[in-house]
Structure 1
């Protein structure tokens, strides 16, 4: 119950802040006596739909370090850290980007992620478990996969896709609420009223939000295939396939990756149920391995 109240309070606070901000910017309210002002509504939704995604993008490196406990390698303290830095530097040069910051986070599951607001100011981090259990050529392939994400600009693109979808979720939720309110007013009733209107908005945002989440998940899965292909080009198809096979063997281990950065990890484990596949940020490892083998066969 408390979670629902907090959700409603947050939604209401966003509306209030948005209304005040847009009024100060000279943007007219989207609800008028004549009906709904679609231009004002679209501007309202675009500003606040994009804001969250862009803020998350700009603080992504800071958040990654805080939530994963990643320790950035400033000065290598051992041969493993030196090799890690040298490998990332080499792969970055081959991919045509600036060398990202390199970190190690304390998770026993083999995993890695990349994040950052642009391709020349990124962070690539690997788990301690990955360093302990994978062979050097497999680690290099994982790093190449993450460098592929950075070189492809996946973090920026995903943030923009999420922002656009947020915009339309907010827009259509309010259009639906307005239509319901207008329908109820046909019989000279008072319509939904403020709280009824907000309740319809919240329900519609949940429904449209689920659809948007499925679209974002589909795009994220597409990115993984591209990053795997980049990893194969930079580190070799065999090494990339072997690295994914090793990750598949470890899918029963607990996933310690924070939800915020799950889409930027190299794996989130296996998905078996239909709904899991629809909302999964990563394709099944078997399908990723098969795609790499087919690409290698065609070459």
Structure 2
């Protein structure tokens, strides 16, 4: 669910910021012209050189984030990888069986790693750099709250993400967004640095680049979030094809019922609710949601 995208975006911002800091240090101590100013007409900026630089940094950051996605998810969520050949309890065996059966039904030739992490949140996510190196993880809270059919529907949804190659597609989109983030943050930083005294110009520009890059990355995430909401409908349909429409719809209704009960019990500030990223929010906040409203997802699935 939202965990997959959250890890990816956070890692992407960290990687991009690190690349820019390293580049700034290299250009400072080697004398390389990393400012992309050529003293020409207009703003005196080498736009072509800056665009090439932005493309390289943007897509490098995106693909490094993709490569690290599975490792980051395991570390940040303390995921316990459940190996089929190990000694498993009934719950672990059931999760592994579902993941492998649905993966075969989806045509995956390499079975995803299966993980369970201890958390009261009702959540699951799929991540990984490729279909061959993917991870499907579920929370202990989900296994406790949901019945067997609902759990299968949720897992089918995550397997659909893997089968659809959503992480790779998201990486390409993030690479394009990164390119524009780097490009416009550099231009904005150059303009800001020209407003201060010359002896402060380099320091101000360095700080401005970091600030603008983080701000523009947040704005760029709106595009990524919009695409994520679009892909959720596809994953719902894929989950319905794998587990059956009744189980997929039952999983969504179970999530909706859980959220509604939490609201009645005034637990909307509970981390178990906030981290689900599945409820969808109205108004402006919907733009920052990685998932559409559950009512809309249920309606689209049932009217398919």
Mapping for residues 241-252 of structure 1, pairs under 5 Å: 241-251=249-259, 252=262
How far does the alpha carbon of each residue in 1:95-122 deviate from its partner, in whole angstroms, 9 at most, with x for none?
A: 1112101111101222101010001210
Distance, in Å, in 2 between the alignment partners of 1:141 and 1:21 is: 55
Report whether the alignment pairs 1:167 with 2:179: yes
Structure of greater relative contact order (alpha carbons < 8 Å, 6+ residues apart): 2
Report whether the alignment pairs 1:220 with 2:228: yes
Give, in angstroms, the shift of residue 12 of structure 1: 6.8
Give, in angstroms, the shift of residue 256 of structure 1: 4.9
Segments of structure 1 that go 5 or more residues without pairing to the other structure are 1-8
| TM-score calculated relative to the size of structure 2 | 0.78
Q: Given the alignment, which residue of 122, 145, 151 partners 1:133?
A: 145
Distance, in Å, in 2 between the alignment partners of 1:250 and 1:23 is: 59
Distance, in Å, in 1 between the alignment partners of 2:154 and 2:238 is: 10
Segments of structure 2 that go 5 or more residues without pairing to the other structure are 1-16
- Decide whether aligned partners of structure 1 residues 148 and 255 sit closer, same or farther in structure 2, where only a CA change above 3 A counts: farther
Report whether the alignment pairs 1:148 with 2:160: yes
Task: State the aligned residue count.
Answer: 274
1:66: which partner in 2? 75
Q: Given the alignment, which residue of 63, 83, 94 partners 2:105?
A: 94
Report whether the alignment pairs 1:16 with 2:24: yes
Mapping for residues 227-242 of structure 1, pairs under 5 Å: 227-242=235-250
Q: Given the alignment, which residue of 278, 293, 298 partners 2:302?
A: 293
1:4: which partner in 2? none
Q: Contact conserved, 1:271 with 1:277, CA < 8 A, in 2?
A: yes
1:84: which partner in 2? 95
| TM-score calculated relative to the size of structure 1 | 0.80
- Decide whether aligned partners of structure 1 residues 100 and 23 sit closer, same or farther in structure 2, where only a CA change above 3 A counts: farther
Give, in angstroms, the shift of residue 179 of structure 1: 5.8
Give, in angstroms, the shift of residue 162 of structure 1: 1.4
How far does the alpha carbon of each residue in 1:6-55 deviate from its partner, in whole angstroms, 9 at most, with x for none?
A: xxx9797244146479988xx98622233222221112212222233222
- Decide whether aligned partners of structure 1 residues 233 and 202 sit closer, same or farther in structure 2, where only a CA change above 3 A counts: same
